[in-house]
Chains A and B, each alone.
Chain A
């Protein structure tokens, strides 16, 4: 009897949906990751197993590696929040990477050129605020185009990423290049007064606390304030927002700028907490990874830090792959992609049931 696959909508309870979604994401990432390891030269099943063990070891094997996960989790939380906030309004901010870069550039500008004129106590807050403002400014143009003219924000935010990165390269190859840097591209090291404080002798910096606090604040904003209510209504049903008389265009612009500010803050934190100078490698995909974080967290703002920790562990573990098994570190990008696909597929499977049906059973003609 021939079989066919049928898709049926299902009404699963929320926890079950989360389980299906996450299970699919992890399952797909595991399967795809194994395939990538095999293609990249891992020998046989044991080789693949060794690669996974190396990753696990690399991520959780030492106190240092665990602290490195926290270092990565700070910007990932912020970019994840940036993407998730927009998605809750049915907006796609694919520009967290560019906003991250602009945030870093803005705080670098404060640190390099305004530091002498500012009281030291104000320096760090001003630099962070400049980072947030830089990210928001980079999101403002796509937001305005979207709200006023209906320009697709996916394309505008995505394309502005490349503009931001090229602009950053122009600055550290050109006008901002360290005069005492022996010709290496990159700015001078920022004054220590503007560095984010670190803890326990590790690279874990204040940005992590900031990110966690902002996750809570953002949740509160959406769940408890009138603006958040309006934003949620707009995301769920633009027609209902029009019916209720909400200023939809203004809410859209505000949300996208807020999203840009979060990504910009991530960039500022990475610059002031870890890199301490603008140079090659500052834009390392943490903005794009925010998309994966947001969907792993299923757009739940309080789950974003957890998803960021998970992805942080993946990134740290992947470094170990490179050193130990001489697998290319970029394999982790394939894993990220598999996680995103898995999360999206999982959402679909959580909302629909796949069922095998015998062909012909549902159809019957005349009975007599």
Chain B
């Protein structure tokens, strides 16, 4: 804990927030007596896994949620926030992962919408300039890059007088080249006397920008205001931080990759995506039975399109995807891939159909003119039992299930297909802690008998589940890291950020089975 002469700008004491009835089934204590101090002039990283309670905490700070108990003080005075507008008036502004901008309007018009005045391009330009943010006020938001949109969101908050600026996963939407610019902006805003909070689960991010770190795990603050240690290259002992975050040491012995692997199930050759430039290209790898292979990347580096192609939803421009020698495509080989796509509520299920009908979505193939609702209901009931899904029954609508329960249902449905390959994409995004561990357990069990391909944006998830981790950067595999390597996390993080050419494709594609073609602990 940091001894500090200056009092904190904002301090929280004993904040708790529970969702669902206390002691009820499905009730989650998202924040459990959390303390947090934010100081002017510092960039504070709030670190935690998906579902650790980061968003809940920040929603309480920015007025979207009110705490069940505990108190907040702003410059020493008690602070009660009943709405986001009240938080803004108190000088607390939040930039969400999803921007709230009107795409058809210009930068100046969006600013005017937020502040209530008339659009004034010159004033907007001066405002942007005064904060060192490069933005052309006349340009339409639709034409802006994600980085520019983020700048506009930050500018909106600053225009409203934010002294405490909270950014939720700010780098997840950015191209690597834009990340440094963001860090520079945040540094400047902090130097001008603001408190900046970065919510993240990515360790490389804090190494690049933060002054101090707090770690949330399962709703509790397990470390608070740890300052940067200038003696360490990354500022902190990253292994210790990730240990705090996940509550366990990362699998250092590489147990997952030591298992005997069977025959090669998935063979991907020279895969190149549609579009100009293609979303991905030069993708070569193989996954064997009994092996878990992960593809990680910061959002926007091509893994969404790659997963859709591997799952057979879209055709590649060239190259091939084969499972046990059979090609996978929109019309072929769908029964060979158990596919859990990222979009749970729109692609993997139809919210307005029942679980019985949703079960028939991917499992019936094309036999017969009629579909048996009774068989669907039976299989749905089996899927509900298999992974302990909380639902009223097969006739429940998919929309009535929580995210975690729906994901378990989808996973159970796909596993019941008995396909040789399980493809899971962002399987735990947005799930609570309990559901995350259940989904991970189900994937580990599946990996005992099938080949598993995990596509995720979360390096910790990849390293926790997979034997090998391929990092996708700008549509290409920047390197493949053996999860058991002692510095695996660090190297995955650097590859994701586009730093350090680890192992490129230059030496040949990442094929040849789990043992060959993989670099464990250094360059070839």
> Do A and B actually bind?
yes
Give B93 Cβ to nearest chain A Cβ, in Å: 15
B80 touching A240 by the CB < 8 A rule? Answer: no
Chain B 237-266: CB-based contact to A (< 8 A → 1; otherwise 0): 000000000000000000000000000000
Check if A225 is an interface residue, CB within 8 A of chain B: yes
For B80, give the chain A residue with the smallest CB separation.
Answer: A367
Residue picked from A224, A225, A243, most chain B C-beta under 10 Å: A243
Q: A198-206, A231-239, A283-291: which one contacts chain B? A: A231-239
In chain A, what residue has the closest Cβ to B400? A11
Interface residue? A368 (CB, 8 A): yes
**Residues on the A chain within 8 Å of B70, using CB:** none
Do A364 and B78 touch across chains, with their CB atoms under 8 A apart?
no
Checking B341, B360, B368 against A243 with a beta-carbon cut-off of 8 angstroms, the contacting residue is B341
Contact between A226 and B364 (Cβ–Cβ < 8 Å)? yes
Contact of A367 among B79, B351, B361 (CB under 8 A): B79
Contact at A236–B352, with CB atoms within 8 Å?
A: yes
A192 beta carbon closer than 8 Å to chain B: no
B156 CB to closest chain A CB (Å) equals: 19
Determine how close the nearest CB of chain B comes to the CB of A141; give it in whole angstroms: 25
CB distance from A296 to the nearest CB of B (A): 21
Contact A237 B346 (CB under 8 A): yes
In the assembled complex, the Cα of A329 lies from the Cα of B311 at a distance in Å of: 59
B1 within 8 A of A: no
The reply to whether A243 and B371 contact each other, CB–CB distance below 8 Å, is no
- Residues A363 and B85 in contact, CB atoms below 8 Å apart: yes
B347→A363 contact, CB < 8 A: no
With A233-B350, A364-B86 as contacts: A244 and B362 at CB distance below 8 Å: yes
Q: Is the CB of B370 within 8 A of A367?
A: no
Residue pair A365, B89 in contact (C-beta under 8 Å): yes
Q: Decide if A366 touches B90 in the complex (CB within 8 Å).
A: yes
Identify which of residues 339-381 in chain B touch chain A, using a CB-to-CB cut-off of 8 Å. Answer: 339, 341, 343, 346-353, 357, 360-362, 364, 366, 368-371
Interface residues of B in 452-501 (CB under 8 A from A): none
B369 contacts A227, C-beta separation under 8 Å: yes
B79 & A240 in contact (Cβ 8 Å cutoff) = no
A245, B89: Cα distance in complex, Å? 50
**B364 lies within 8 A of A239 (CB):** no
Residues from chain A with Cβ under 8 Å of B369 in the complex: 225-227
Q: Which residues of A contact B366 (CB under 8 A)?
A: 226
Q: How far is the CA of A226 from the CA of B363 in the complex (A)?
A: 13
Q: Which residues of B contact A243 (CB under 8 A)?
A: 311, 313, 339, 341, 347-348, 361-362
Known A226-B371, A233-B353: A240·B347 in contact at CB below 8 Å:
yes
Q: Decide yes or no whether A4 CB sits under 8 A from chain B.
A: no
Tell me the nearest residue of chain B to A368, going by C-beta: B78
* Chain B residues, Cβ within 8 Å of A227: 369
Chain A: which residue is nearest B85 at the CB level?
Answer: A363
**Which residues from 298 to 321 on chain A have a C-beta closer than 8 Å to any C-beta of chain B?**
none
A237 touches B350 (CB 8 A): yes
Q: A229-B357, A236-B353, A240-B361 are in contact. Are A365 and B339 (CB under 8 A)?
A: no
Interface residue? A121 (CB, 8 A)? no
User: In the complex, how many angstroms separate the beta carbon of B17 from the nearest chain A beta carbon?
Assistant: 18
A242 close to B (CB within 8 Å): yes
Q: Are A236 and B350 in contact (CB under 8 A)?
A: yes
A187 to chain B, nearest CB (A): 41
Q: How far is the CA of A237 from the CA of B348 in the complex (A)?
A: 10
Interface residues of B in 121-166 (CB under 8 A from A): none
Does any Cβ of A come within 8 Å of B77's Cβ?
A: yes
Task: Tell me the smallest distance from the CB of A351 to a CB of chain B, in Å.
Answer: 12
Assess the A226–B368 pair: CB atoms within 8 A.
yes
A363 to B80, CA, bound (A): 11
**Is B51's CB within 8 Å of the partner chain A?**
no
Query: B331 within 8 Å of A by Cβ?
Result: yes
Q: By the criterion CB–CB under 8 Å, are A224 and B370 in contact?
A: yes
CA distance A236 to B360 in the complex (A): 15
Q: With A226-B369, A245-B331, A245-B334 given, is the CB distance from A240 to B86 under 8 Å?
A: no
Q: Could you give, for residues 61-99 of chain B, a 1 whenever the CB lies within 8 Å of some chain A CB and a 0 otherwise? A: 000000000000010011110110110011000000000
Chain A residues whose CB sits within 8 angstroms of the CB of B349 once the complex forms: 240
Bound CA–CA A368/B362 (angstroms): 57
Q: Which of A240, A242, A367 contacts B350 (CB under 8 A)?
A: A240
Indicate if B312 sits at the interface (CB-CB under 8 A). Answer: yes
Q: How far is the CA of A15 from the CA of B463 in the complex (A)?
A: 50
Is B330's beta carbon under 8 Å from chain A? Answer: yes
**Chain A contacts for B371, CB-based, 8 A:** 224-226, 229
A361 to chain B minimum Cβ distance, whole angstroms, is 9
Given contacts A232-B353, A233-B361, contact A239 B83 (CB under 8 A): no
Q: Mark A214-253, 1 if CB is under 8 A from B, else 0.
A: 0000000000111101001100110110111101000000
The residue in chain B whose Cβ has the minimal distance to the Cβ of A227 is B369
Partner of A368, one of B77, B89, B334, B352: B77
User: Closest CB of chain B to A226's CB: distance in Å?
Assistant: 5
Q: A236-B353, A239-B346 are in contact. Are A244 and B80 (CB under 8 A)?
A: no
Q: Is the CB of A362 within 8 A of B82?
A: yes
Once bound together, how far apart are the Cα atoms of A229 and B369, in whole Å? 10
Evaluate contact between A242 and B313: CB separation under 8 angstroms: yes
CB proximity of B370 to chain A, nearest CB, Å = 6
- A364–B83 touching, CB < 8 Å: yes
Are A362's CB and B350's CB within 8 A? Answer: no
Expressed in whole angstroms, the minimum distance between the Cβ of B365 and any Cβ of chain A is 9
Chain B residues within 8 Å of A365, by CB: 86, 89-90
Q: What does the 1/0 interface line of B90-110 toward A look like (CB < 8 Å)?
A: 100000000000000000000
B307-323 to A contact mask, C-beta < 8 Å, 1/0: 00001110000000000
Complex interface: chain A residues within 8 A of B341 (CB) = 243
- A:336-368 near B, CB below 8 Å: 362-368
Closest to B363 in A: A244
Contact assessment for B313 and A240 in the assembled complex, using a CB-CB cutoff below 8 Å: no
- Closest Cβ of chain B to A78, distance in Å, is 24
Most buried by B among A233, A244, A362: A244
Write out the residue numbers on chain B whose beta carbons fall within 8 Å of the beta carbon of A226.
364, 366, 368-371
CB of B346 within 8 A of CB of A363, answer no
Contact, CB under 8 Å: B347 / A237 = yes
A240 to B348, CA, bound (A): 6
Q: How far is the CA of A368 from the CA of B343 in the complex (A)?
A: 44
Contacts A226-B364, A363-B86 supplied; 20 other A-B pairs, CB < 8 Å: A224-B370, A225-B370, A229-B360, A236-B352, A236-B353, A237-B346, A237-B347, A240-B346, A240-B347, A240-B349, A242-B313, A243-B311, A243-B313, A243-B361, A243-B362, A245-B313, A362-B83, A364-B83, A365-B90, A367-B79
- 26 CB-based A-B contacts, threshold 8 Å: A226-B371, A229-B371, A232-B353, A236-B351, A236-B352, A237-B351, A239-B346, A240-B348, A240-B349, A240-B350, A242-B330, A243-B311, A243-B313, A243-B341, A243-B348, A245-B331, A247-B331, A363-B83, A363-B85, A363-B86, A364-B82, A364-B86, A366-B74, A366-B77, A366-B80, A368-B78
Name A's B-contacting residues (CB within 8 A).
224-227, 229, 232-233, 236-237, 239-240, 242-245, 247, 362-368
Shortest beta-carbon contacts, A-B, top 8: A367-B80, A368-B78, A239-B347, A243-B347, A364-B82, A236-B350, A226-B371, A244-B361
